[in-house]
């Protein structure tokens, strides 16, 4: 158990629907990162939050949004889902806002859009 909790582990939904992925960071970590891993792709950085504020944005689609709540858990909202959104979505957390080390990853949410 890495200390980063992601729910649900698996999600199957239809095109056009909306889903919410949840991440609880490791205790004491203030920064949360979301990554997407599609088939044969590396982990693509989507977005980072630090202590409730958006810190950095990557290749995140406009149909996707995220937020970090006062208790530091984060949610990634995916709407108007398309078949190509099927992927593994990982959350990672770290203590600092801008440090390359100390990332702890959750076990991911596997999203299947049918």
Q: Is 53 in the site for another protein (CB under 8 A)?
A: no
- 81 HSE (CA, 13 A, CB side): 20
Tell me which of 11, 92, 111, 113 binds another protein, using CB under 8 A.
Answer: 92
Q: Is 35 in the site for another protein (CB under 8 A)?
A: yes
Supply the minimum distance, in Å, between the C-beta of residue 43 and another protein. Answer: 4
DSSP assignment string, 14-75: -TT--EEEEEEPPTT--EEEEEEE-TT--EEEEEEEETTEEEEE-S--TTEEEEE-TTS-EE
Supply the minimum distance, in Å, between the C-beta of residue 107 and another protein. Answer: 5
Supply the minimum distance, in Å, between the C-beta of residue 41 and another protein. Answer: 6
Q: Is 105 in the site for another protein (CB under 8 A)?
A: yes
């Amino acid at each position: 158990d890495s200390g980063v909790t992601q729910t649900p582990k698996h999600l199957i939904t239809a095109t056009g629907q909306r889903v919410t992925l949840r991440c609880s960071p490791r205790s004491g970590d203030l920064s949360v990162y979301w990554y997407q891993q599609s088939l044969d792709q590396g982990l693509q950085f989507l977005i980072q939050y630090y202590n409730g504020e958006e810190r950095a944005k990557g290749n995140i689609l406009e149909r996707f949004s995220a937020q970090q709540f006062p208790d530091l858990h984060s949610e990634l909202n995916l709407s108007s889902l398309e078949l190509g959104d099927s992927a593994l979505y990982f959350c990672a957390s770290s203590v600092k806002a801008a440090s390359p080390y100390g990332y702890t990853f959750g076990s991911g949410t596997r999203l299947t859009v049918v």
